[in-house]
Amino acid sequence: MKKFYAVIAILAITFGNIGLSSARQSQQGKAPVESVAGVFDYYLLTLSWSPTFCLTHKDDVQCSGKGYGFVLHGLWPQYAKGGWPESCPPMVALSPAERTQGLTLFPTPKLLEHEWSKHGTCSGLGATGYLDAADKAVGAVKVPEQLQPFSGTHYFTAQKISDLFRESNPGIPADGIAVLCSGPELSEVRVCMGKDLAFGACGKGVKTQCRAGDIRVPPSR
């Protein structure tokens, strides 16, 4: 009888631990996918509204009276089911020539280095290939006239901003763009593109994140 109870106790502990492990896995979500260069589904082109960034980064080089409107934040490889690869090996530093090329696209050296190491390395294109792709992606998106740099504060709904971009870029599908805000201000516009840099639908988790009603679009600095 003692042996019987001992077996029951062992089984209870074993299944209890399995249940606890399952619960922990449920809370923590799926194990992260190993990041491999070139293994992704599409790109997310992210354009940052520089005046909003400069509200909280006044000493940044980007905010030294250059009058920026939208600037390239990054070209990010993405998974269609959600998430993205990052910091893919081999981690290779930019050469002086690549850094010079990158600074024609990104507003600051710090942002260039960060974007290359975290996202560019996962493109599988090498630094020059990635920078060429970023250049092509930025060139493919026409910023609406109403959202060019201006000297006074403007107000739009997030839907209106999305509509303006789609009117200026008819190839962007309704589910191929997202508008993001930082509090009440416009922060970013994100456009989804295939590996061939043609406009396409966004994957899971890419969506507009702004409050309802008008959002503030600060003037250029």
Q: Is 4 inside any structural domain?
A: yes
pLDDT at 153 over 50: yes
Q: Please give the tally of structural domains in the chain.
A: 2
Residues 64, 71: Cα–Cα separation, whole Å: 14
**42 by DSSP, 3-state: which?**
strand
Same domain, 21 and 120: no
47 domain-assigned: yes
Looking at the structure, tell me whether residues 23 and 71 fall in a common domain.
no
Confidence of residue 24 (pLDDT cuts 50, 70, 90): very low
CA angle 33, 43, 144 (to 5 degrees): 150
Does 69 lie in the same domain as 11? no
Active site residue 113: no
Residue 57 known to be catalytic: no
Whole-structure pTM value: 0.85
Q: Is 37 contained in some domain?
A: no
Q: Choose the catalytic residue: 86, 98, 113, 115.
A: 115
Whether residues 14 and 54 share a domain: the answer is no
Over residues 112-152, the pLDDT tens digits come to 999 999 999 999 999 999 999 999 999 999 999 999 999 99
**Annotated catalytic residue 73:** yes
**CA 139/CA 45 separation, integer angstroms:** 11
Q: Is the CB of residue 76 less than 8 Å from the CB of residue 84?
A: yes
Domain extent for 26 = 1-31
Mark whether 12 and 88 lie in a shared domain.
no
